Amino acid sequence: MNLNNIRIVLHQPSHPGNIGAVARAMWTMNLSHLYLVQPKSFPDPIATKRATGAEALLEHAVVVDTLDEALAECGLVIGSSAQTRHLPWPILSPPECAQKAVQQASKQQVALVFGPERTGLSNEELQRCHYQVAIPANPAYSSLNLAMAVQVICYEVYGEFLSHHATEGVMRELASDAQLQSFYGHLDKLLDAVHFRRPSSSPDLIPKLKRIFNRAELDEDEINLLRGIFKKICNDPSI
């Protein structure tokens, strides 16, 4: 997974404040490549002020004259627009857009394109995108502020990135069922050895303890640690 391959492209943004707010929105979501196509005013102190903390991202923003230049090396291009078109374009929800963008970014550059504040993307501009992404909104007023639209999409992209990381990097190998069952056998012995169990004890005692240990999703190392403690408590070499 490579967020470095995902760029945000603002087509003809007219308010420098929005450019700064977009930089901040991107940086909070770990995205750092901003392309500006014919910005009305950039660099601009208003943009820098609104970036609060993401000024470095603005300094590295790439300013170009045409969408062609902003998109040239990109394999996948997704255009963001609320509007349904006369010729409907294949439409994605923000999570679907994030999934496609993050997947493709493991191979090549991906662009997420946002239109000018007043007019949005033209049909022609949208039609050079593989897909349109639309943020679900009030049908009577579906047009978000540019930076807020960027925030929503970047949030989805980062969430998608994190969910891949969760499955790739963070998964631990849990103890096998055989190891776990043998651990429960030792636990049983421990309860007897320390006279915890009484004739009046609830039959649910062992299932309740199992529930606790199951919730902990023990791995082999943790089982060995607990077993060492049990052994010490009841001084029983068979544990």
Question: Interface residues with ligand SAH (CB under 6 A)?
Answer: 80-83, 114-115, 117-121, 133-135, 137, 142-144, 146, 149
Nearest approach in angstroms of CB 25 to ligand SAH is 12
Task: Pull the structure tokens for residue 78.
Answer: 């997704």
Spatial separation of the C-alpha atoms in residues 138 and 135, rounded to whole Å: 10
Q: Which residue, 48 or 80, has its beta carbon nearer to ligand SAH?
A: 80
Task: Pull the structure tokens for residue 66.
Answer: 């045409």
Q: Which residue, 117 or 220, has its beta carbon nearer to ligand SAH?
A: 117
Is residue 37 within 8 A of residue 12, CB to CB? The reply is: yes
Nearest approach in angstroms of CB 62 to ligand SAH is 18
Q: Which residue, 52 or 93, has its beta carbon nearer to ligand SAH?
A: 93
Q: Which residue, 134 or 239, has its beta carbon nearer to ligand SAH?
A: 134
What secondary structure, in 3-state letters, does 63-104 show? EECCHHHHHCCEEEEEEECCCCCCCCCCEECHHHHHHHHHHH
Nearest approach in angstroms of CB 108 to ligand SAH is 22
Q: Which residue, 101 or 223, has its beta carbon nearer to ligand SAH?
A: 101
Nearest approach in angstroms of CB 211 to ligand SAH is 45
Nearest approach in angstroms of CB 216 to ligand SAH is 43
Can you tell me which residue has the tokens 């068979």? 238
Is residue 230 within 8 A of residue 193, CB to CB? The reply is: no
Q: 3-class SS at 37?
A: strand
Bridge partner residues of 112 (DSSP) = 8, 78
